[in-house]
Amino acid sequence: MFRPQHLLAPIALVATLSACAHTATVGAFAVDVPKGWEHEAEDADSLGVGTRHAEWTFMLMAFTDAEIEGDKSLDAVGREAAAELTKDDDGGAAGDDDVSMEFDDPKEWSSAGGLRGVVMDGRMGDAQLSVQLKLMVVVSGSNYLLAFGFRSPDAGPKHDAAMQAMLDSIRLATP
């Protein structure tokens, strides 16, 4: 399937991303990057997006059903992505180093353009800091888009609204 370590790249990217409001393409999908947010494409299938001060930071990755082993239903792909993210580097459960990460059950999502997906809210933290997480999987035919994001405690309602508008803007890219 996909490798979760690639999803952590946005943390390192935010300081060097380019700032502008525009539509970005990730695989077969397009997304509207909020005005004032920074972004950088690692390749045609991945995009790091975030606010200048990391109130929200996302990694979007496109992949096809050929890269998925086993059940290809949205619920199963969402649960598998969450399970991969909550594993530590040694394959054990995350949290062995006093940092815990967990996700809620998937909730159905649909776009105005007819795309289907699942969204999972989550939490990551330790005794000193708690960070909100968001995991989203969108499908169109054999194409999937995974979005994984971190919300810092400093984020406010305007950051949350921009994040939600960005996720709601996901659509098929026009050729």
Could you give phi then psi for residue 41, rounded to 5 degrees? Answer: -90, 125
Region 4-172: CATH code:
3.40.1000.10
How far is it, in rounded angstroms, from Cα 140 to Cα 151?
27
The predicted-structure confidence for 145-157, as pLDDT tens digits, reads as follows 999 999 998 899 9
pLDDT for residue 17 is more than 90: no
How far is it, in rounded angstroms, from Cα 107 to Cα 75?
8
How far is it, in rounded angstroms, from Cα 21 to Cα 132?
24
Place 1 in a pLDDT band, splitting at 50, 70 and 90.
Answer: very low
How far is it, in rounded angstroms, from Cα 53 to Cα 97?
26
How far is it, in rounded angstroms, from Cα 30 to Cα 61?
12
Instruction: Kindly report the average pLDDT of the chain as a whole number.
Output: 85
Predicted confidence at residue 93, as pLDDT, reads 56
Residue 44 to residues 60, 152, 167, Cα–Cα distance (Å): 11, 27, 18
Task: Give the rounded percent of residues in the chain with a pLDDT score beyond 90.
Answer: 61
Tokens of 133: 């997480």
pLDDT for residue 91 is more than 60: no
Write down how long the chain is: 175
The predicted-structure confidence for 20-66, as pLDDT tens digits, reads as follows 468 999 999 999 999 999 999 989 999 999 998 999 999 999 999 99
- The answer to which of 32-36, 78-82, 128-132, 137-141 has the lowest mean pLDDT is 128-132
CB of 57 within 8 A of CB of 10?
Answer: yes
Residue spans per domain, the chain: 4-172
pTM surpassing 0.85? no
